[in-house]
Structure formats: C-alpha cells, structure tokens
Structure 1
Amino acid sequence: MDAPWNLLLFFSLFVQCFLFARAQLPGTWEVLVPNAGIASMHTAVTRFNTVVLLDRTNIGPSRKMLHKGRCRFDRYDAVLKRDCYAHSVLLDLQTKQIRPLMILTDTWCSSGQFLPDGTLLQTGGDLDGLKKIRKFEPCEPNGSCDWVEVDDVELADGRWYATNQILPDGSVIIVGGRAANTVEFYPPRKNGAVSFPFLADVEDTQMDNLYPYVHLLPNGHLFIFANTKAVLYDYQSNKVLRNYPPLDGGPRNYPSAGSSAMLALQGDYSTAEIVVCGGAQYGAFLMKSTDTPAHGSCGRIVATDPDPVWQMEDMPFDRVMGDMVMLPTGDVLIINGAQKGTQGFEMASNPCLYPVLYQPSQPVGLRFMTLNPGTVPRLYHSTANLLPDGRVLLAGSNPHYFYKFNAEFPTELRIEAFSPEYLSMDRANLRPTMEEIPETVRYGAVFDVFISVSLPIVGIVEVNLGSAPFATHSFSQGQRLVKLAVTSAVPDGEGRYKISCTAPPNGMVAPPGYYMAFAVNQGVPSVARWIHLIA
C-alpha cells in the first residue's frame, strides 16, 4: 500500500519544485496595451519614445478605425475597396495611447530603416506597394505626423521580403527580395538596381534567400547571410570579397526563419562577431508541416578574422521565428517563436514561451540562460524591440487572412513588455540615472556624461549606444550596439558622477543617426537618453 502513496508524494514534490523553479526564473511580463487595433508585423521605436506599428493593408478590417472621414481606396483588396480602417498605428509609450496612421499602399513583408535625420524609410511590399517608398517623420507624441508616400521616385526593382541597412554615409542599401537578386540604394543612384548573383546562387525552391541577414561591419563592408551561406560584400565596387564557410544545420532565412545579430562593437572596433540561431527544418515549408521540430543550433563567427570558422552551440530550446534583441548590456535576448513548424500563415505549433538570454562573454556551454516564460504565443508576424527604459516590447502574431480570433493561435492585438533580470527590484539601487548628455555628438568627439546612482560605484560604468532597428520577420534591420571608450566615473557632488566618453570614430562603426545612450552600472542600464550622432 505504501508504493502508490510514495509515488503520489514524489509526483507532488516534483510538481511543486517545477512550479517553484519556474516562478524563480528571471524576468517579468506585463501587458502594455490590451488592444492595439492591429497585429504588427513591422515595428520601430522613434526618438520621441513612440512606436510605429505596421500591418499589411489588404487584409480586411483591422480593429482600429481611421479618424473620421479618412478612407483609402484599394482595387486590390478583395473585401474593402473603400477602406476606413487603420493598418498602421502610433503608440505613445508614456500614455499607452494608440493613434491611427494612414498608409496608402500595401506594406506586406516590406523593409525599413531610420535615416540620419530620424525619418523612418519604408520600402516595398506587395501588389501596389511593390516599388513604393514611404516616409514617416516622427514628431512629439501629441503631434499629427503621418505616413507620406514618395511620389517622385520609386524602387528600381520590386522589393517583397527585402532587407535594408543604413551605410556609413547615411544612405541605405536595399538587398534582395522575392525574384529580386539585386541591390539598390536610397537615395537612388544612377545605376539603379545592381545584380547581386550571391542571392541567386543560394536560392532554391524553398526561397530561403528572402529577408537576408545584412550587417554593416566596422571595416565598411557588409556581411550578408542567406540560406546557409554568407559573403563579405563591398557594396561600393559590387564585389564579393570573401565567401564564408557554410553554416551547418539547414537554411536559416525566410521561410525557415532563424534569426541573427551582430554582437556589441567595442575596444578598437576592429572585430565584429555575428550570431545566427534557430530555424525550421529543410522541407517544413514545402510540406506545410506544422509539427516538424525546429532546430536549436547557433553558429557564431568572427566575420573580420582572416580565416573565420563557425563555432557551434545549442540553445536550450528548438526555435523557429525567434527574435534576437541586443540589450544595453551587450547580452542578446532571444524571444518569440515556436518549437515546431515554419514561417507562414498557421504553419507553426508548440509556441516557445520561454525567452533565452545569450551571454556572449561566457564560455561555450554557459552562454544560455532560460528566462521566465510568457503566456501569449508570438508566432508568425510577431516582433520584438528594445525600449529606451530597457524593457523589450512584443507585438503582433498570426494576422491570418482578415484577422481570426477563434483559431488555435488567434490574431494577437495585445502589446506586451518583457523586463530582463537587470530591471528586478533587488537591483534597483544599482540602476543609474542619466542626468546630462549632449543632444548631438560628432564622430571622435570627447564629451562628458553625468549620471547619478544610489550606491557608490564599483568598477567601470559603461556608456553604450543602441540603434533603433526596424523589426520584422525575426530579424531587426539595422540593429547595432556600440560600447564607447570611457574613463572611470569621477564624483561630482552627492550621488552624482562625471564620465568622459569618446564617440565612435566614423560611420562604419556607427552610421549617422539617433541612438539610445545607456549608462550601464554593474550590468544594470539606465533609462536611455537619445543622442544624435553626426559627421
């Protein structure tokens, strides 16, 4: 008679231990907005601490009306020829208010990047948006800024599933897209679209060359990854300078949907490391298989080495459609996605609710930390963006056709924020406050930052610049973190310190534009102040 009771006791203790362990995992969640009105597949944070969210236009009614009297007319829309619903909105992070924006052409699976003056450039899409260029010039939260369609110029090639990257001179390169094995630039250059055979070389029937991973290296060249291969590309001469070794583990780009990030640039800025993690099994998209296990392998490569090789390791979870977010500390948050299936409408299952922290400075085998799980599945067309207060904003998932709320994984209109461990209450006394920082800084300039903190400072306080990328389809276009050269913090009154910083030397290390400047004390970041980096 004892055996069943012993088994029951063991099971009870196991469940209690599991629940306790889960509750003790780092990180916290909160719902910022219960209903944003749209399911965002493209998300970007502006220097006014507002967030631009975009869905496609021809998906039928959203759950947010345009302001009274405003409608668009779309002959491509199967349901709404006269469309009075918003398909883009602006979130005010302070008040949590949502303002509808007017977008005229289809932005489905388009690309974007902030320009040096802080304007969001948005390119391509489907149908009437295929060659379109749009701009959003952000304003104060109580302003009336809205999308503007550029009428006097269009893309040379149609760009559907392309990637944008700002360049050292402030122009933008637009790479690839479906049936577009070319690159082009904004502002447009005389030669228009330029052939880029690498994308054709890696293309197969699964189309895993879409949304290529593009990273600007500090040597001024581009690391471009598609499918399983990567090249070092000199965009000025249109030459491939190097073919990197293939990455094991199957295709990683859309629709196989891994993710990629360039690790923080620091020191003399001569070294750049790229990480590529996760993805679907080859064939999952072709077979429309929702239950094929994803893979959890990561490859890391020093892209600037003369003889680079991929260093492999495994995440704690298999993951497809995960987002990689550079945190102010230099660690990488991997969040969102599923453990089975592939990208595409209703083509994934077993949501991966556990975020993972990737700690690049740790040795292989100790780099991953499992964090506190969320409760909202974030699958196809979800996004993740770093906020100025150090949290990570999560939006979108499963827009379906015409939005569905009775599906197994319904269209997701909630916006959440995840707080990493560095924002926990037991570390609040370590959190610095950025008191003063110049609004504008030139390359190579030495400038002072003033911070305050409750406890005496121990060690070096970092000052790190984080870009505001355009997040879509498991890749943040233009994402970058640059650690500045700093001096030790010098006391400057009660609880106040002065830190001398040196700005990045040039646009290859940090392209011109607006950055979130964080002070990081013992791994705890301040709320960022926006700084304009100029030549």
Structure 2
Amino acid sequence: MDSLLLQCWVLFVFTAAVTLCGLLARAELPGSWELLVANAGIASMHTAVTRYNTVVLLDRTNIGPSRKMLPRGHCRYDRSDAFLKRDCYAHSVVLDLQTNNIRPLMILTDTWCSSGQFLPDGTLLQTGGDMDGLKKIRKFEPCEAHRFCNWVELKDVELVNGRWYATNQILPDGSVIIVGGRATNTIEYYPPRKGGAVLFPFLADVEDIQMDNLYPYVHLLPNGHLFIFANNKAVLYDHEANKVIRDFPPLAGGPRNYPSAGSSAMLALQGDYSTAVIVVCGGAQYGAFLEKGAETPAHGSCGRIVATAPDPVWEMEDMPFGRIMGDMVMLPTGDVLIINGAQAGTQGFEMASNPCLYPLLYRPDQPVGLRYMTLNPGTVPRLYHSTANLLPDGRILLAGSNPHYFYKFKAEFPTELRIEAFSPEYLSADRANIRPEIQGIPERVRYGEVFDVSVSVPLPVVGIVEVNFGSAPFATHSFSQGQRLVKLAVTNTFPDGNGRYRIGCTAPPNGMVAPPGYYMAFAVNQGVPSVARWVQLVD
C-alpha cells in the first residue's frame, strides 16, 4: 500500500472512529425526543396545557398568513393590520394530546407578547398584547377535545393600562395580578379592583435604554408576598398593602429579563412550606440588543437565592452552556429542565445564533458543581418565540420558534411549525417497572384536607411514594407565568393488596402555598412519576 493510500486509510479510520464516538456519546445521554405534529399551522408564542389534556397555542394576529385556515366563513377584519385586513387564517389552535389533532381557534385582537394565567375554575385568562389588543382581556374556557370551545373577548371590561410584555400571577384569593409591560410601570388586577392601576416605581427604577424590565419574573411566595425580579434586581412586594418591604441584593452578571432573555423558576415547595428558593439562569451580554449583536456570546451564570431567608444572598454557579431564551420547566420530581434557546445574541427578530440544542437537568438537592446534567440534544432550533410545557404524562412539549417578523421558511432559522416532546430519563424503558399508576384520587380537595391516594406499581415499593401538585402555567418568552410545584405531606406507603398501595396525603394548607385551581397530581416512586390526574384545589 503506497504512502498516500495509507494516509487516506488512516484518515478514514480516524474520522469514522470520531464519528462513532460522537454518536455513542449522544446515544448515551439521558432523554429521548419524538415528533408529535409535523405542521401545527402556527408557530406558538404562548402555550398552556388545560385540565382536559389539550394544549392551547397562540401566536400574534398581525403575522400575515399562517399555515392553518379558520373554518369557512370565519375571518377577522382589522383595518390596522398592515398585511391582511381580511384575515381568514388561524393564529391560535388547540392540540388534542390523545390524537395529536389540531383544531383552529378564532382570536380577534392582537396577542403579540401578551400574558396569561389560569383562573380557579380552569378558565385561561389572557391579557394585553399589541395594537388593537393592548387593553383587551380574553378568556378560553377549555372543554373536551371533541367539543368546540373557543376564545371569547370580554366586551364589558378592559385593562386600565395597555399591557405589552406584562406578567400575570394568580394570588391566594384566586384573583390575578398583572405586572408591568412596555412603558407601563404599574400593576392591576383581574377581576378589576377599585382604584384601577397602581403605580409600581420599582419597574421604572430598573428600566434602562434597552428596557430589560419587561416580562418581569413574578413568583408568589408561601408567605403571601411576591418576589418580583426585573433587569438584575428584585424586591419583595406586599400586594395587599401595595408596599415594597424588601430590596434583594442585585444579581451579578448583567440583566436577565426581556430582551436579555434569561429564565427563572421557584423550586418545589415542601416540608412546612416556610422556605422558597428562586433560581435565575442565563441571559444576554448587555448591549447585544442595542448593537444587534447576534454573535455576542450569551453567559451561563445562574443565581440562586432563598427569598424567605432573613438575610438572603445570591449563590452563583455556571451552567455547562451559555444560554439565552432557555425555558425552565419544573418536573414532577422537583428537578428543573432547562431547554430551548441559543448560545449567542439576544431576544428579538433575527438577533440570535448558535442554537443550544442540549437540554440540562438542574438537580437542586445536589451540591454546587454537581447540579447540572447534560441531556440528549434535539435537532430543531427553538429560538425567539418558542415555548416548553410539562405534560400530564411527564413529557415536555416543545413548540414555536419564529425569529422573523412574518412567517419565513427560507432562512437559516426558519419559522418552526413542528411540535415535539422530550422525555426525561425517568420515562425510559428500564424504569417502567417502578413507574406508579394512580388508581384513585379525589377530583377535588380542600386546603388542609387529609385524603388517600391509591397507586399500583409493578415492582414492590421501597420507601416513600411522593404525591406532588404541579400547576399548568402560561409559557411565553422564556418564563412560565404561574409555574409551581408543591410536594404534599404524605404518610408511609401502605400495601393494599393486589399490587396496590395507599398513601395518606395532606393538601396544601392555604392559597399562599398553592393558589386555588386545577393541578396535575403526580405520584412519584424513586424519582419516577406517574401519569398525572387533574385535581381541583378549593377553599
């Protein structure tokens, strides 16, 4: 064999070995992906899972033609729409998780960068938007998949202030607080309260030339106060007295809110529910939005703070990847999935690059330096206007990504109409024998109520089976509004015959720990969750 041929052969063997090692490394990473819908018709900017195991997906209305038509005879007329004044295309759809069928919904006014939250009766409240939607309030009362519920726009009430890029959070009494918005440094409530909108100077104090106070991170703490984070600062807010009662230390690493595009989650509430821990991760370098710096590397720093501590401080650590526009999803186990986003740029149309395809598992009970696990990467970039939502079966639904002003399919990162699901490692086949199945659970429980949950498990149960309540948040712009996981107090698992076990549970004590509404109730055995049953928590 001559030297040139030998060199080619060595190069081939080396390349094949590297490729094989890469494939094996990828295959060995935890988690799996599946395509649910090849063409949803719209790119979902806002996504929410209903108690009927359907998913509501929303885009903006003045986006031009989508890829899903409304039923014949149903069109939207808008003289201010620069592209389609007679618009017969759907800009909202509902997905049936049983069949993966898509049904178009009619939305009348612009929902671009709006906000939402489920009410105690399971109705999805949707507020604000742009242009003709700026002050609008809409409702979607979900129904069984074979029925034909649709959006209803309220005619007798509007928002006091226009709300574009605002955040909603349900409160202990079942009302909803609506915080901020572009050029709107106020808060207001639904149902409307006497006095209308209330000035909230904190948002003005943290506003800068590139904004960074939009879509503030709002978390209801178990003491009834609100942790509100914008730019790189946070306050503890008493919404009843309209008073800031604490300033938290600034978070190092620059701004984290829109357009700098970090994410945030409150870790699982458990024990006596007196402690709340907030995590804020990722974000863009300051100035990337102003300079249109799509190649500017994102940072990967995370801050973690005990918001209920007497003297709270931020504990800092770094993710394996710099990431902007990542979504933080509370899993039924109490771990956090960080998924979607990019490694460079900022939020905004065509202002990000280098998609971050690797999900991360954040394990809050591990020590610093061991909390992150890199998971099996996907293949579909999910950038600006993408979402991630926990499903009742434990999978994560991924939808959207439209980094363009209109739908654009011939681009480096085209408008994304595919819907995927990511299955964490707890759904792998080798854990099927310890996956519990809920056989019996009340459909409605009251605060502090003691009740039984019946589960079956293929293999004998070892230790405690948890019962955890997960909310169904409104996911948009890298933050899940109203996201919450509450671990219930449970008794030892008691064998009940025929492979069944009985677990004594105590419902959350009040609406500060878990606001009234519908929750996904998961039984969790050795880190493996059941398919959830929907339970309504009432006063």
Match of 1:447 in 2: 451
Alignment equivalent of 1:298, drawn from 294, 299, 302? 302
Aligned to 2:335: 331
Kindly indicate whether the alpha-carbon contact (under 8 Å) linking 2:431 and 2:528 is maintained by their aligned counterparts in 1.
Answer: yes
Partner of 2:169, secondary structure, is strand
Tell me, in whole angstroms, the C-alpha distance in 2 between the residues paired with 1:347 and 1:94: 36
* 1:336 positional shift: 0.2
Shift of 1:8: 6.5
Q: Which amino acid aligns with 1:343?
A: Q
Q: Distance in 2 between matches of 1:6 and 1:108?
A: 56
Which of 47, 59, 63 aligns to 2:67? It is 63
Tell me how far 1:5 sits from its aligned partner: 7.2
Report the equivalent of 2:173: 169
TM-score by length of 2: 0.98
Q: Which residue of 2 aligns with 1:410?
A: 414
- Which of 273, 279, 282 in structure 2 is aligned with 1:278? 282
Of the candidates 487, 490, 507, which is equivalent to residue 491 of structure 2? 487
Q: Distance in 2 between matches of 1:399 and 1:190?
A: 40
CA contact (8 A) 2:285 2:297 kept: yes
C-alpha distance in 2, partners of 1:165/1:500?
30
Match of 1:319 in 2: 323
**1:374 aligned partner:** 378
* Partner residue in 1 for 2:115: 111
- 1:22: how far off? 1.1
Alignment of 1:534 with 2:538, yes or no, is yes
CA drift of 1:400 comes to 1.9
**Residues 295-350 of structure 1: CA deviation (Å, up to 9, x unaligned):** 00000000000000100000011100000000000000000000000000111000
Q: Distance in 1 between matches of 2:246 and 2:405?
A: 42
Match for residue 134 of structure 1? 138
Q: Give the AA of the match of 1:279.
A: G
Select 1:457's aligned residue among 451, 458, 461.
461
Q: Which residue of 1 aligns with 2:227?
A: 223
Question: For the residues of structure 2 that align with 1:173 and 1:374, how far apart are their CA atoms?
Answer: 36
Q: Is the 8 A contact 2:304 2:315 kept in 1?
A: yes
Aligned to 2:349: 345
1:210 to 211, 214, 226: 214
User: Displacement, 1:10?
Assistant: 5.2
Cα contact 1:208–1:253 (8 A) shared by 2: yes
Which deviations, in whole Å up to 9, do the C-alpha atoms of 1:371-392 show, x marking residues without a partner? 0000000000000000000000
Residue equivalent to 2:392: 388
72, 77, 93: which one aligns with 2:76: 72
CA apart distance, 1:412: 0.3
Query: 1:39·1:399 contact (CA, 8 Å) conserved in 2?
Result: no
- Asked whether the equivalents of residues 41 and 417 of structure 2 are also in contact (C-alpha less than 8 Å), the reply is yes
- Match of residue 527 from structure 2: 523
- Paired letter, 2:157: V
State yes or no: 1:16 paired with 2:20.
yes
Report the AA paired with residue 519 of structure 1. A
Residues of 1 paired with 2:183 and 2:458: CA distance? 56
For 1:6-37, what per-residue CA distance to the aligned partner results, in whole angstroms no more than 9, with x for missing partners?
77755543432222111110000001000000
Q: Distance in 2 between matches of 1:359 and 1:162?
A: 29
Determine which of 155, 160, 169 is the counterpart of 1:156.
160
> Structure 1 residues 66 and 32, CA, compared in 2 at 3 Å: closer, same or farther?
same
CA displacement, residues 86-124 of structure 1 (integer Å, 9 cap, x when unaligned): 000000000111110000000000000000000000000
TM-score under structure 1 normalisation?
0.99
Aligned length: 535
Which letter does structure 2 place at the counterpart of 1:221? H
Match of 2:30?
Answer: 26
| Maintained 8 Å contact 1:211/1:253 | yes
Matched, 1:194 2:198: yes
Q: Indicate conservation of the 8 Å contact 2:350/2:403, yes or no.
A: no
Q: Partners in 1 of 2:155 and 2:292 — Cα distance?
A: 39
Q: Which runs of 4+ in 1 moved over 6 A?
A: 1-8
Give the conservation status (yes or no) of the 8 Å contact 1:58–1:76: no
Match runs of 1:242-261 below 5 Å: 242-261=246-265
SS for the counterpart of 1:515 is strand
For structure 2, list consecutive stretches of 5 or more residues without a partner in the other structure.
Answer: none
Give the secondary structure class of the aligned counterpart of 1:492: strand
Q: Which runs of 5+ in 1 are unaligned?
A: none
Aligned AA (2:229): F
Letter in 1 for 2:71: H
Letter in 2 for 1:15: T
Pick which of 487-496 and 335-344 moved more. 487-496
8 A Cα contact 2:55 2:96, kept in partner? yes
Counterpart-to-counterpart distance in 1, 2:121 and 2:46: 20
> Partner of 2:497: helix, strand, or coil?
coil
Aligned in 2, Cα 1:85/1:4: closer, same or farther, shift over 3 Å?
A: closer
Alignment of 1:92 onto 2:96: yes
Aligned partners of 2:64 and 2:406 also within 8 Å:
yes
Q: Counterpart of 1:446 in structure 2: which amino acid?
A: V
2:382 counterpart letter in structure 1:
R
User: What is the CA–CA distance in structure 1 between the aligned matches of 2:437 and 2:302, rounded to whole Å?
Assistant: 35
Q: Indicate whether 1:43 and 2:47 are aligned.
A: yes
Contact 2:348-2:403 at 8 Å conserved across structures: no
Distance in 1 between residues matched to 2:348 and 2:21, nearest whole Å:
37
Once residues 341 and 91 of structure 2 are traced to their aligned partners in structure 1, the CA distance between those partners, rounded to angstroms, is: 23
Identity %: 83
CA displacement, residues 266-308 of structure 1 (integer Å, 9 cap, x when unaligned): 0000000000000000000000111000000000000000000
- Give yes or no for contact 2:342–2:355 (8 Å, CA) kept in 1: yes
